[in-house]
Amino acid sequence: MTQGILIAVIVLGVIGAIFAVVLYFVAQKFKVVEDPLIDEVAEVLPGANCGGCGKAGCRAFAEACVAQGNLDGLRCAPGGDAVAAKVAELLGCVTEAGEPQVAVVRCRPCNIGDKRRSNYDGMQSCAFAHSLYTGEGGCAFGCLGCGDCVKACLFGAITMDPDRGTPVVDEEKCTACGACVKACPRSVIELRNKGRKNRRVWVGCINKEKGADARKTCANACIGCGKCEKVCPVEAVHVNGNVAYIDHTKCIACRKCEAECPVGAIVDANFPAPVNKEKPAAPAALKPAAPAQETPVAEQPSTNNQN
């Protein structure tokens, strides 16, 4: 009995020892030399694996940083400048502070209540709804309101406004990773520079229809009249394909275009309220035909959270 146990222990012990020796040499032979710096860099990254940098995850981003030796063309959007500085310190290189960005919604709410032209009851997915029809508001370019961007945001920065039918970005939480931009089948969401004091101006419409058709579709649509283009002192605004676009790298947020826009398609964020107060009068005076529909449009800029 005792002898049996003893034999078993010895046999297993010997087998174990042999394997240990073999494994030791195999491990030496196939050793993967990995830069310990990768671990260190990965440590300082946010670890959300959002994929906003274009890499498979934070670890892959760290590998790319170490392999390159500097941060040229590599940027962790959620981490921002703080993380970039830490990574640069580890890599021993200098990094320029990038312009902080934020996601903005380039569609003004139009799917409100009685303005719905249809009642969608299919799968709640913008990508799918986009393949079926134009959307409940009838616009083939604007927000479908099924919330693919809400689902895509790993930071909980996007919520769907039930009254407006369009998403709202919480700029405190938004890390500009770009996941929502990729998720949106109609490119309604765009990453734009946050701007000085977080004040920024953009065109809240991407409808490429001709002016009259666009207005028929949506009361808030840009009609491509070009007034904003003329008034811009820095040539940041251009009308292309019946819709204006403000180049956020050139824009100085003077808001001349916003005051000039006859349809109130240009929106701003974080400007002090008093300046805005005179604005609702201007578009309302130009569009007396449908005052009831215009009221929410004119009011939005002054709410200051139209992003």
Partner 1 sequence: MKTFKMGGVHPEENKISSSAVIEQMPLPAQVVVLMNQHLGAPATPVVAKGDKVRVGQLIGEAQAFMCANVHSPVSGTVAKVDVCKDAFGFAKPAIYINVEGDDWVETVDRTPDIKRECNLEPQEIVAKLKEMGIVGLGGATFPAHIKYNVPEGKKAEYLIINAVECEPYLTSDHRVMMEHAEEICIGVSILRKALGVPNAYIGIENNKPEPIAVMTAMSKNFQGIIVEPLKVKYPQGAEKQLINAITGRKVPSGKLPIDVGCVVSNVGTAFAVYEAVQKNKPLIENILTVTGKKLPSQHNYQVRIGITYNDIIKHSIGELPENTGKVISGGPMMGKAVVNLDAPTTKGASSVLVMDESEARRAPETNCIRCGKCVNACPMGLEPYLFSSLVKNNRIEEAKIHNILDCIECGCCFFSCPANKPLTDEIRLGKNRVRAMMAAKK
Q: What are the helix (H) ranges across 218-290?
A: 227-231, 256-260, 273-276, 281-286
Nearer to partner 1, 208 or 238 (CB): 208
230 binds partner 1 (CB under 8 A): no
Examine residue 125 and tell whether it contacts partner 1 (CB under 8 A). Answer: yes
Q: Does 140 bind partner 1 (CB under 8 A)?
A: yes
Segment near partner 1 (CB under 8 A); pick from 29-37, 134-142, 230-238, 239-247: 134-142
Q: Give the position of tokens 């005792």.
A: 2
Q: Per rule CB under 8 A, is residue 49 in the interface with partner 1?
A: no
Q: Which is nearer to partner 1, 148 or 171 (CB)?
A: 148
Structure tokens at 104: 């903005």
The residue whose two tokens read 């694996």 is 49
Q: Label residues 214-238 b or e (16+ Cβ within 10 Å = b).
A: bbebbbbbbbbbebbbeebeeebbe
The H or E element spanning position 245 is: strand 243-246
Nearest-5° angle of CA 204, CA 229, CA 164? 10
How many residues of this chain interact with partner 1, rule: CB under 8 A?
A: 17
Q: Determine how β-strand 266-269 pairs with β-strand 200-203.
A: antiparallel
Q: Which two tokens stand for residue 114?
A: 């009685």
When asked if residue 100 is in the footprint of partner 1 (CB under 8 A), the reply is: no
What is the DSSP secondary structure assignment for residue 218, as one 8-state letter?
-
122 binds partner 1 (CB under 8 A): yes
The one segment of 47-55, 133-141, 189-197, 226-234 that binds partner 1 by CB under 8 A: 133-141
Q: Residue 3 Cβ, how far from partner 1 at the closest point, in Å?
A: 55
Using the rule CB under 8 A, give the single segment among 19-27, 72-80, 120-128, 193-201 that binds partner 1.
Answer: 120-128
Closest listed residue to residue 192, CA positions, set 239, 149, 253: 253
Question: Among 46, 74, 115, 133, which residue sits at the site for partner 1 (rule: CB under 8 A)?
Answer: 133
Element (H, E) at 25: helix 2-29
Residue in 10, 82, 94, 132 binding partner 1, rule: CB under 8 A: 132
Is 187 among the residues that bind partner 1 (CB under 8 A)?
A: no
202 beta partners: 267
Contacting partner 1 (CB under 8 A), which of 21, 117, 295, 299? 117
- CB count, 10 Å around CB of 292? 6
209 binds partner 1 (CB under 8 A): yes
Candidate residues 60, 88, 127, 154; the one interacting with partner 1 per rule CB under 8 A: 127
Size (the chain), residues = 307
- Residues at the contact surface with partner 1, assessed by CB under 8 A: 117-118, 121-123, 125, 127-128, 131-135, 138, 140, 209, 213
